[in-house]
Amino acid sequence: MSGAIKNLDTPLYEQLYEDMLSKIASKEWKPGQRIPPEMELCKIYGVSRITVRKAIEDMVSAGYLKRHRGKGTFVQMELIENNLSKFYSFSETLRSKGIREVAEVLAFEIINADDFLTEKLKLSSSDSLLFKIMRLRSVDDIPYVVETSYIPKSLLSALTETLVAENGLYNAMQSLGVIPNRAVETFHAISLGGLEARLLQQDLHVPVMSIERLTFSGDIRVEYCCSTVRGDFFSYTVELGL
């Protein structure tokens, strides 16, 4: 179509639907990209706003597009499969699929563990200092997860923000002699709150996945991590057997 009607026997909205779908399939419109506004599409294709709106509504219903109130309409993200049958990291999962991500360190500080974190990490009363590391992970400038890690300072006293920013958290830990090799995770759906909504560039109260991870090196608890993951980014697979 691209500005001209090809087939007078086919409804205009169907022709527009097919042309926009071809732009998504060819990656001319990339996952997460905002498509042109309705009035601009009217000019590009020489059709009415009713036609444009009908085509967009059908594409939203089919899962190709997603509306964000006050921001526009965006190409739906492609779900990335995450296999939960083995120890994984977000960065390694993406790297294995040829996808480059950026992890920005938003906060790196030393805190005193509260009762909750003391219990989670099985800390002694004389060993209550933790690194608190908050990071925002993005792919193609699209943020997909906010995560906050708590790590006993006594295990990794030489850990620095630079090491984490340049190498990633687990690689930094390994370089200092602590090898994360096992984790227990808990998943539940939540409604997105204010800070995370702003960081993930999502509307308030949209459903997202909350993941709590307790990471071990052998039998030693080396990290407690809380992650808020966009619901339109990952799918999770578990293999079950008798």
* Percentage of the chain modeled with pLDDT above 70: 91
Superfamily of domain 80-237: Chorismate lyase-like (3.40.1410.10)
Confidence at residue 84, expressed as pLDDT on a 0 to 100 scale: 65
Residues paired with 72 in a beta bridge: 68
CA 188 to each of CA 14, 76, 229: distance values in angstroms, whole numbers, following the listed order: 38, 22, 11
User: What topology does CATH give the domain 12-75?
Assistant: Arc Repressor Mutant, subunit A (1.10.10)
52 secondary structure, DSSP code: H
Return d(Cα 92, Cα 137) in angstroms, integer. 13
* Percentage of the chain modeled with pLDDT above 90: 53
Confidence at residue 175, expressed as pLDDT on a 0 to 100 scale: 96
Question: Tens digit of pLDDT for each residue in 185-199?
Answer: 999 999 988 899 999
CA 139 to each of CA 14, 90, 91, 212: distance values in angstroms, whole numbers, following the listed order: 32, 11, 10, 22
The residue extents of the domains of the chain are 12-75, 80-237
Confidence at residue 61, expressed as pLDDT on a 0 to 100 scale: 84
DSSP 180-193: --EEEEEEEEEE--
Helix axes 12-25, 38-45, angle to 10 degrees: 100
Question: Tens digit of pLDDT for each residue in 126-136?
Answer: 889 999 999 99
Confidence at residue 219, expressed as pLDDT on a 0 to 100 scale: 95
**Is a pLDDT exceeding 80 seen at residue 165?**
yes
Return d(Cα 9, Cα 226) in angstroms, integer. 54
Average pLDDT over residues 118-143: 91
Query: To the nearest 10°, the Cα dihedral for 70, 72, 73, 76?
Result: -70
Question: Tens digit of pLDDT for each residue in 58-96?
Answer: 988 887 888 877 778 988 877 666 666 666 677 777 776
**Is a pLDDT exceeding 90 seen at residue 1?**
no
Average pLDDT over residues 107-118: 97
Question: Tens digit of pLDDT for each residue in 3-41?
Answer: 555 566 788 889 999 999 899 888 898 887 889 999 999
Task: Give the residue among 180, 181, 185 at the shortest CA–CA distance from 212.
Answer: 185
Mean pLDDT of the chain, nearest integer: 87
Return d(Cα 132, Cα 122) in angstroms, integer. 16
Return d(Cα 61, Cα 235) in angstroms, integer. 19
